[in-house]
A = this chain, B = another copy of it.
């Protein structure tokens, strides 16, 4: 449902065009210094601004409502909320009965018997990832300097020039997909709880929760399906487990091996485009056209790297807390 994690537990809430979006974090250890300013950098990275990203710009000032005393975490749940201020819901009137192709408009309506909030995607909106980024900031603070998270867009629409591809798509009243790669240095060996809760399982679980992700691969990923073992297998260099290559992406048997964690996610294009698309009018059941005029990203993939990093940090912290039990 809306919670993730075993000992570091993240619960997401809020809507795109509701009063607020936010996150509740349970299991944060006590004694971690935490202030609103800690969130600024990562929230800025998630915020739009570049060509090909939405014109809706929220200030994203985090309100820390609980779990903090004198600038330190207390061990109690941390509630963080973000006001929604730059909302124009009238943009979305049409989609209430004309579901956008590629979007959750129709599935959400079916699942929640029509009671879901359709404005801007409601709870199933990219807006909700603001809470995920906030949780990621806390996870990174817990981890400290020992791990370095670095994600970037390496392709958009098949081009290595993602910004340009996004701008061209926007100019064409269209949208475009993107490929994001993330590397995490310093992940300790031994994280992951196979059989079912290996590192890949948990991280993929969380990554696929990010709206619009349609593929996740670790290390060589899909290319591994084309390889022979003598090419794929990473030669082991020393007893700590360091390997000469890293086609496993830092994970063997669902357990981190001490090498850098490497994975990629594929983001589909934004569903909302101004180009005319075929859909049905739910009032009549008849075919019709829809052109989405609301503000939206032509390439929301450009905003994903910091969200992907947050996912990796959340999973890393959760596993680290669980792993302590063994010692």
Contact = CB atoms under 8 A, between A and B. Distances in A.
A24 B27 contact: no
B206 A248 contact: no
Interface stretch (A40-48, A53-61, A143-151, A236-244): A236-244
Interface size range on A against B: 35 or more
Copies per assembly: 4
Contact of A190 (B111, B257, B280): B111
A162 to B, nearest CB: 10
Interface in A101-154: 101-104, 106-108, 110-113, 115-117, 121-124, 128
A107 B253 contact: yes
B219 A117 contact: no
A287 B237 CA distance: 7
Contact of A236 (B79, B230, B278): B278
A157 interface: yes
A269 B189 contact: no
A38 interface: no
A122 to B, nearest CB: 7
Given A74-B116, A110-B189, A225 B178 contact: yes
A77 B128 CA distance: 12
24 contacts: A2-B194, A2-B195, A11-B26, A12-B195, A13-B67, A13-B77, A18-B69, A31-B112, A31-B115, A74-B116, A75-B111, A102-B232, A102-B234, A107-B257, A177-B224, A177-B232, A178-B225, A194-B209, A201-B204, A217-B266, A224-B267, A225-B268, A229-B269, A232-B268
